[in-house]
Amino acid sequence: MSLQSYVRPRGLDDALAALADPRTRPLIIAGGTDVIPAMRKMRLGEPQAAGDDDDRPGVVVDLSQLDELRGIGEKDGMLLIGAATTMGAIARHELVKDRAPALAAAAASVGSPLVRNRATVGGNLATASPSADTAPALLAANAVLGLASARQGRREVSITDFFVGYRRTLLQPGEIVAYILLPLSRGLVRGRFEKVGLRNADAISMVCVAVEMELDGRVCREARIGLGAVAAVPVRAFAVEAALKDREIDEAVARECAKLVHEHISPIDDLRASARYRSWVAEAVVARMIIDMACKARS
């Protein structure tokens, strides 16, 4: 099958209906910043070579204009972000900057202004790149993802369970990410995101780290740490988090705990960095962020 049609549904139910028939091989598009480069490689206008299985999409379903999937607000003490909300909108939003600063910083670090005006947070998660920048921030925020499909209806899953392998998620055929929920803690929670790339701007992460810490003075009551580009999937550094819990943080404690990051990472060599460099940077950045958050800045 070659590409037959492009649909821009008016409502979420129409979108789910358009995605429901696997025979049409539907392809979701939101901002298109990952999909369009991939489609260029698919040679959609050309006939399939004889004898080859054609796995090219038959219909493109555009979610980018669905109001039900866009916007940011507060709901039942949670921050609610529609999956088709752009990185630019997330990075600029006062509520996100105030209550989820790691996510705001992660969104602000994606590509260039042109990319951020198109790229959506749902697309960033569904692509499931190990270096997807919003993933560590959402892991550190303990986010819940709202999924929807015509066949299975609605369900909510923890982001910790969402990434199941290299560029694979638990999304079923015809299922979309509809929204993201971030619990808003009542305690004093600090959040930070740091990205190490080959340039200061418009760079894919070599390593990215998001940390959320609930602090009582210098005592860490709770910590959550998300890491990107250091394993096949974005990961939580559970061992570091457990070691920090209820400890009074000083530089020695931060460095001791940060060493445990190696229990969770398995970086590879690629064109951006060696595995050894990524390992070293991940430990160093985690240690520095903990020290900065607990012992220095009050933000």
Ligand X SMILES: Cc1cc2nc3c(=O)[nH]c(=O)nc-3n(C[C@H](O)[C@H](O)[C@H](O)COP(=O)(O)OP(=O)(O)OC[C@H]3O[C@@H](n4cnc5c(N)ncnc54)[C@H](O)[C@@H]3O)c2cc1C
Can you give the binding site for ligand X, defined by CB under 6 A? 27-35, 63, 83, 110-111, 115, 118-120, 122-124, 126-127, 132-133, 171, 176-177, 204
Written as six digits, the tokens of 169 are 């998620």
CA–CA separation, 259 and 246 (whole Å): 18
The number of residues in the chain equals 299
Quick one: 12 or 184, whose CB is closer to ligand X? 12
Report which residue's Cβ sits closest to ligand X.
123
Q: Closest CB to ligand X among 171 and 253?
A: 171
Kindly tell me which of 31 and 226 has the beta carbon lying closer to ligand X: 31
Contact (Cβ atoms closer than 8 angstroms) between residue 134 and residue 124: yes
Distances (CA, A) of 212 to 141, 173, 296: 7, 33, 15
In the chain the first and final C-alpha atoms are separated, in Å, by 54
Helix (H, G, I), strand (E, B) or coil at 229: coil
Q: Which is nearer to ligand X, 2 or 127 (CB)?
A: 127
CB of 196 to ligand X, least distance (A): 12
Closest CB 257 distance from ligand X, rounded Å: 27
Greatest C-alpha distance within the chain? 69
Please report how close the Cβ of residue 9 comes to ligand X at its closest, in angstroms. 12
Min. distance of Cβ 294 from ligand X in angstroms? 27
Q: Which helix (H) or strand (E) holds 247?
A: strand 247-248
Q: Which is nearer to ligand X, 119 or 286 (CB)?
A: 119
CB of 33 to ligand X, least distance (A): 3
User: Which uninterrupted H or E stretch holds 218?
Assistant: none
- Strands 72-75 and 59-62, by their bridges, are unpaired
Q: Could you give the C-alpha distances from 108 to 4, 100, 114, 282, in angstroms and in order? A: 36, 13, 12, 20
Bridge-based pairing state of the strands 72-75 and 26-29: unpaired
Measured from the CB of residue 125, what is the shortest distance to ligand X in angstroms?
A: 8
**Closer residue to ligand X (CB): 213 or 231:** 231
A 10 A CB-CB count for 2 gives: 14
Shortest Cβ distance from residue 239 to ligand X (Å)? 25
Question: Please, which residue, 62 or 241, has the CB nearer to ligand X?
Answer: 62
